[in-house]
A and B are shown apart, each in its own frame.
Chain A
Amino acid sequence: MNPVSELIKNLADQHGRNRHNLLPILQGVVEQEKYLSEFSMVEIARELDLPASEVYGTATFYSFLEYKKMGKYIIRICKTITCSMKGKNQILLAIEDMLKIHVGETTPDGNFSLLQTNCLGFCHKAPAMLVNSEVYTDLTPEKVREVLSSYLKKQKEEKV
């Protein structure tokens, strides 16, 4: 069995196969795969006996349910008011400079995707960002470089 199909089957076994189980299943696939491919959505539709278009229409409503291929680490920088005031753009520049990608892009090695998002609920520690589900706050260009370096290092170690 295709590993994604298996993942979906397991998720459906775990959560159930009703319409109200759709979101947890979508989230489960995104957690593993980082995004929902055409294939996974058809599989989910089949598993839950839902129209595939409904799965697509629902998934695209939620900004964390990506439907385009994403990197292993998804960086989401908060662009809402306080983070903007507190230097979000410099953070963004530092990341773009370091990873050589723009917002919306993924590094060629498939490790990082760079996105913006809305208020993360850490305005008192602005600017803030998420790397996958990890929160980083009180960012400065130096700090963000450090954070990314640690991910790069982790990535290299995993390779070895």
Chain B
Amino acid sequence: MTKNIKISINGIPIEVEQGTTILDAARQAGVIIPSLCYHKDLCIAGNCRVCVVEIAGQKRLAAACATPCEEEMEILTNSLNVLHSRKQIIELLLSEHNADCTSCFKNGSCELQKLASDYKILKQDFIRLVPFKNYTIDKFSPSIIKDDSKCIRCQRCVRTCAELQGINALTVAYKGDQMKITTFFEKPINDVVCSTCGQCINHCPTGALVERNYIEKVWDAIADKSKHVIVQTAPAVRVGLGEELGFGPGERVTGKMVTALKRLGFDAVMDTDFTADLTIMEEGTELLTRLKSVLVDHDPKVKLPMATSCSPGWIKYIEHLFPDFLDHLSTCKSPQQMFGALAKTYYAKARNLDPEKIISVSIMPCTAKKFEAARPEMHDSGYRDVDYVLTTRELAIMIKQAGLDFMKLDDSHFDRLMGESTGAAVIFGATGGVMEAALRTVYELVTGREIPFKNLNITPVRGMEGVKEASVKIENPLEEWTFLDGVELKCAVAHGLVNAHKIMELIRLGKADYHFVEIMACPGGCLGGGGQPIPTSPEIRKKRAEAIYAEDEGMPLRKSHQNPEIIKIYKDFLDHPLSEKSHHLLHTHYVARERF
């Protein structure tokens, strides 16, 4: 039972639920208390101290984020004491900080910069500590740049990696003035257990953790007349991009995005959704094949549950932490890499282009996709399959650089051949989406009937719960699939690697009786990806998910196997799912990695 208590904030009385922190209470009262180490997704740290407030009768100031309201508390958020102290704390942070804003990737979107600007820190008397520090910049990863000189030690990244991802690639090390955020034995982040998911980037208030950006490279490619530059866009980008360009969270901007990409000068604007549909065909067939091997042939080499493989952060995670369980992964490449491999083969052939002249760019909600594209395995077209991966945020930057008034752009359609998609592909962007899409197709493949859920909406796998379970009973299958008659197909869905860990532990202990599991590295799935607009919060993720499902419902086709371009590619090029050509271009293998 929750009790309400009466407090006052700057003299204004309000009532809040017991247990509410001063920070939240103030927000309810319309007072914004500045904060840095606080993040809605994370546990409370209370270490930056910029949120300090005065409480009547107390000698010291209290950290608003970490202090629960108490009955009759009188709180002052702007007393002279508070203002002086807060300003001095910001000054202190800046004295330890390499504040070269004009050459910083976070310029204009940095929380520290905003505070400095709000509090007008015009004169910095404190001694600059930066020259005395041995700050390093780690640029070895294809996904992440970690610049210690920009770090304010708020530990948001550390908490993110531990609480959301359960990985702890980042840690706090040393103490006192030496205290810093680093990895095991200060190794480059590329050499440690990091999944490259980018959640830490998404949660970092400053420029200390940013994506490695390829904006210039892409501009160069576009300008190079000898190159044919194509671009693909992931499902979650269309429900996030608007946030960077003037819209509120959850706005669907698919048509404007396509127009913008065309205006930027890409030669063809296509859709990762096409290969998402293709993934369903391949992965669905792989699942059925595995079920047969296990249930009929009792082949001990074939492992169940089969786990999805479209989230490269998840892939790197399992390679590091559960290397003995790689056989559980579907061999399907992610939609991005399927697209890449087809672009320089199928598309090149159809358009009569020299694949060497094709530059393949992808727009992803994800930083792990940058790592994935750089994997040595991903050269099945004979070239690097995907040349550059940009995050949603990088695309927004390009759109701003090009001076496009995004909100006023008209809608346009993806280019043909690899631009058609179904609602099943769009929902890849939300947790549970791959599972839902796969079930829609697999059930129909096996039974010849539509999956018995109202409007095809498989609601048990939707929503933001960390681990979701669902099962579908197969009855009266088509002749070919009689071995599945009466089988209850058991599925589980996890998002955020800390939840993936739960499922992997079950598998490790032999307690997972699932047939198929979907795992996405990021909370909420790709819509909450590390490359998505900042901030991302529980409410924002919810809005983006709503947008995704609305997009699905608005599509004329909502089952992957109905996509005419999919039918065409099998007819013209791949023959059938799991064909030899598919195996060569669309499937891959995994490697075991170190666990530190």
- Where the two chains meet, the residues of A that have a C-beta atom closer than 8 Å to any C-beta of B are 38, 41-42, 45-46, 51-54, 56-57, 60-61, 67
A41, A46, A61: the one contacting B184 at CB < 8 Å is: A41
Q: Is the CB of B168 within 8 A of A54?
A: yes
Q: How far is the CB of A118 from chain B (nearest CB, A)?
A: 11
Q: Is the CB of B596 within 8 A of A45?
A: yes
* Sampled A-B contacts (13; CB under 8 Å): A41-B596, A42-B596, A45-B595, A51-B167, A51-B169, A52-B184, A52-B595, A53-B169, A53-B193, A60-B174, A60-B175, A61-B175, A67-B185
A38 to B168, CA, bound (A): 17
How many residue pairs, one in A and one in B, have C-beta atoms under 8 Å apart? Answer: 46
Q: Is the CB of B596 within 8 A of A57?
A: no
Is B171's CB within 8 Å of the partner chain A?
A: yes
Q: How large is the interface on B (under 10, 10 to 19, 20 to 34, 35 or more residues)?
A: 10 to 19
List chain B residues, Cβ under 8 A from A67: 185
List chain B residues, Cβ under 8 A from A42: 595-596
Q: Is the CB of A56 within 8 A of B185?
A: yes
- Chain A contact residues: helix, strand, loop or mixed: helix
A61 to B182, CA, bound (A): 13
Q: Which residues in window 161-178 of B have CB below 8 A to A?
A: 162, 167-175
Is B192's CB within 8 Å of the partner chain A?
A: yes
Q: Is the CB of B595 within 8 A of A46?
A: yes
Interface mask (B131-163 → A, CB under 8 Å = 1, otherwise 0): 000000000000000000000000000000010
A42 to B169, CA, bound (A): 13
Closest to A57 in B: B171
Q: Is the CB of B174 within 8 A of A53?
A: no
Is B183's CB within 8 Å of the partner chain A?
A: yes
Q: Is the CB of A60 within 8 A of B184?
A: no
A46, A51, A61: the one contacting B168 at CB < 8 Å is: A51
Closest to A56 in B: B184
List chain B residues, Cβ under 8 A from A45: 595-596
Closest to A38 in B: B185
Q: How far is the CB of A72 from chain B (nearest CB, A)?
A: 23
- Chain B contact residues: helix, strand, loop or mixed: loop
A46 to B193, CA, bound (A): 14
Q: Is the CB of A53 within 8 A of B595?
A: no
Q: Is the CB of B167 within 8 A of A61?
A: no
Q: How far is the CB of B564 from chain A (nearest CB, A)?
A: 48
Q: Is the CB of A60 within 8 A of B173?
A: yes
Among A41, A53, A61, the most chain B Cβ lie within 10 Å of the Cβ of A53
Q: How far is the CB of A101 from chain B (nearest CB, A)?
A: 22
A60 to B172, CA, bound (A): 9
List chain A residues, Cβ under 8 A from B192: 53
A52 to B168, CA, bound (A): 8
List chain A residues, Cβ under 8 A from B183: 53
Identify the 9 closest CB pairs spanning chains A and B, nearest first. A51-B168, A57-B171, A52-B596, A53-B171, A60-B173, A53-B184, A57-B173, A52-B184, A60-B174
Given A57-B172, A57-B173, A61-B174; A51-B185 close (CB under 8 Å) = no
Closest to A53 in B: B171
List chain B residues, Cβ under 8 A from A61: 173-175
Given A38-B185, A42-B596; A53-B168 close (CB under 8 Å) = yes
Closest to B185 in A: A38
Closest to A59 in B: B173
List chain B residues, Cβ under 8 A from A52: 184, 193, 595-596
Q: How far is the CB of B304 from chain A (nearest CB, A)?
A: 25
List chain B residues, Cβ under 8 A from A57: 171-173
Q: How far is the CB of A49 from chain B (nearest CB, A)?
A: 10
A38, A46, A56: the one contacting B173 at CB < 8 Å is: A56
List chain A residues, Cβ under 8 A from B167: 51
A67 to B174, CA, bound (A): 11
Q: How far is the CB of A102 from chain B (nearest CB, A)?
A: 19
A46 to B594, CA, bound (A): 11
A52 to B184, CA, bound (A): 6
Given A38-B185, A41-B184; A54-B596 close (CB under 8 Å) = no
List chain B residues, Cβ under 8 A from A38: 184-185
Q: Is the CB of A56 within 8 A of B171?
A: yes
Q: How far is the CB of B170 from chain A (nearest CB, A)?
A: 7
A46 to B595, CA, bound (A): 9
List chain A residues, Cβ under 8 A from B596: 41-42, 45, 51-53
A54 to B166, CA, bound (A): 12
